[in-house]
Structure 1
Amino acid sequence: MKYDFDKIVDRHGTDCYKWDMIAKRKLPADTLPLWVADMDFETVPEVKERLKEVADRGIYGYSMLGDGYYHALKNWFSERFGWQVEKDWVIVTPGVVFALAAAVRAYTKEGDSVMIQRPVYHPFTNVVKENGRKLVNNPLVMENGKYHMDYEDMERKITEEQVKLFLLCSPHNPVSRVWTKEELCQAAEICKKHGVIMIVDEIHCDFVYEGYHHTSFGTLSEYADNAVICTAPSKTFNLAELQLSNIMIPNPELRKTFQAEMDKVFYSDANLFGQVSCQAAYEYGAQWMDELRVYLQGNITYIRDYLAEHLPKVHLIEPEGTYLLWVDFREYGLSAEALNAKILKDARIWFNEGSMFGPEGAGFMRINIASPRSMIVEAMERLGEVFGE
Structure 2
Amino acid sequence: MLAQQRHDYVLEQLRTHGAVRVADVVNGLGVSDGTVRRDLELMEQQGQLTRVRGGAVLPGGSGSAAVDPAGAEATVPAMPAEGAVVGMLVPSATYYYPEVLRGARSAIARAGARLVLGVTDYDPGRDLDQLRDLIRSGCDGLLVTSAGGPVIPAPVRELLDRSGLPYVLVERRSAAAFDHAECVLSDHRQGAYRAVEYLAGLGHRRVALFTVSTPTARPVTEGHAEAVRLLELDPSAPRHIAEEGADRIAAVDAFVRDCRASAATAVLVHSDQEAILLVQRLRSLGVRVPEDLSLIAYDDEVAALAEVPLSAVAPPKFEVGRTAAAALLDRLGSPTDLPVRQTVLQPRLLVRDSTGAPPGAGAVTAAGSGASAAAAAV
- The structure number with the bigger radius of gyration is 2
* Structure with higher RCO (Cα < 8 A, 6+ apart): 1
